[in-house]
């Protein structure tokens, strides 16, 4: 599981860096701005998780994560520079980044003996905070706060699936894949079929 968790983390960093640069590209940011947005997206959620767990921040403990973030951001910037990007292109890789980071964050919290509910919420924090930073830096309302958007709730469902399956004796590796699948299915399904959460509204 440790080896899988490490690779999930690296892939999550790369995917989130990609989404950050794609969104920065839509706002015509320069190289420095795009790399900053990409790195914040890739590293932000895990940083908050580690601070809350009183754990050495993951990209400080192992700078491979930082190198992957910077390399991905630079590569994507030069690959897409000059292209006209679809308005919501970043949403598909963002769904995969959300799933990867949520599961990695939840499993790390469990390994640090966090109670199951706390671990699930730390998984959500790991998954969504990078996207919040990306959207704020790009001067947009974060997806997690968009009315009815199935975003944090999809991450929480995946985190709970991971925890529940492990409690039932399922292998952590299998549980991780199932948890990621839950997040991706819910997020992409919500986008495809315009499924939203109930929203608060006052009676007239």
Residue 54 lies in a domain: yes
C-alpha span between 141 and 128 (Å, rounded): 13
Does 157 fall in a domain?
Answer: yes
Q: Is the pLDDT of residue 77 over 80?
A: yes
Span 30-43, average pLDDT = 97
Q: The domain containing residue 188 runs over which residues?
A: 2-193
pLDDT score, position 70:
98
Angle, helices 91-111/31-52, rounded to nearest 10 degrees: 30
Instruction: Answer yes or no: is 152 within a domain.
Output: yes
pLDDT value, residue 168: 97
49 within domain boundaries: yes
Residue range 82-107, pLDDT digits in tens: 777 776 777 899 999 999 999 999 99
What's the pLDDT at 144? 87
If one compares 71 and 195, the residue with the highest pLDDT of the two is: 71
Q: Average pLDDT of 103-126?
A: 97
Q: Please report the DSSP string for the chain in residue order.
A: -HHHHHHHHHHHHHHHHHHHHHHHHHTT--HHHHHHHHHHHHHHHHHHHHHHTT---HHHH-THHHHHHHHHHHHHHHHHTT----TTTTHHHHHHHHHHHHHHHHHHHHHTT--HHHHHHHHHHHHHHHHHHHHHHTTS--GGGSTT-SSHHHHHHHHHHHHHHHHTT--HHHHHHHHHHHHHHHHHHHHHHT----------
Residue 72 lies in a domain: yes
Residue 198 lies in a domain: no
**Is residue 199 in a domain?**
no
Domain count, the chain: 1
- Mean pLDDT, rounded, for 68-75: 98
**70-74, 147-151, 189-193, 194-198: which has the highest mean pLDDT?**
70-74
User: Residue 55: which pLDDT band, with cuts at 50, 70 and 90?
Assistant: very high
Give mean pLDDT, residues 138-149: 86
Return the minimum-mean-pLDDT range out of 47-56, 134-143, 144-153, 178-187.
144-153
For 86, residues 6+ apart whose C-beta sits below 8 A from its C-beta are none
What was the pLDDT predicted at 156? 98
- On whether residue 36 sits in a domain, the answer given is yes
Q: What is the pLDDT of residue 202?
A: 62
How far apart CA 90 and CA 195 sit, in angstroms, is: 19
């Amino acid at each position: 599981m440790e080896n899988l968790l490490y690779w999930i983390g690296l892939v999550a960093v790369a995917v989130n860096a990609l989404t950050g640069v794609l969104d920065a590209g839509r706002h015509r940011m320069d190289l420095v701005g795009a790399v900053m947005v990409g790195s914040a997206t890739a590293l932000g959620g895990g940083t908050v998780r580690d601070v809350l767990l009183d754990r050495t921040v993951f990209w400080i403990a192992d700078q491979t994560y930082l190198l992957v973030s910077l390399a991905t951001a630079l590569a994507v910037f030069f690959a897409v520079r000059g292209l006209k990007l679809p308005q919501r292109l970043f949403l598909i890789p963002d769904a995969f980044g959300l799933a990867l980071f949520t599961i990695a964050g939840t499993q790390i919290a469990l390994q640090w003996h966090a109670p199951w509910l706390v671990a699930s919420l730390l998984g959500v924090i790991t998954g969504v905070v990078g996207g919040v930073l990306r959207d704020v830096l790009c001067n947009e309302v974060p997806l997690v706060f968009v009315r009815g958007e199935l975003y944090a709730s999809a991450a929480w469902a995946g985190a709970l699936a991971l925890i529940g399956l492990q409690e039932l004796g399922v292998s952590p590796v299998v549980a991780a894949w199932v948890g990621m699948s839950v997040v991706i299915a819910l997020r992409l399904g919500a986008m495809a079929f315009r499924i939203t959460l109930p929203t608060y509204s006052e009676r007239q």
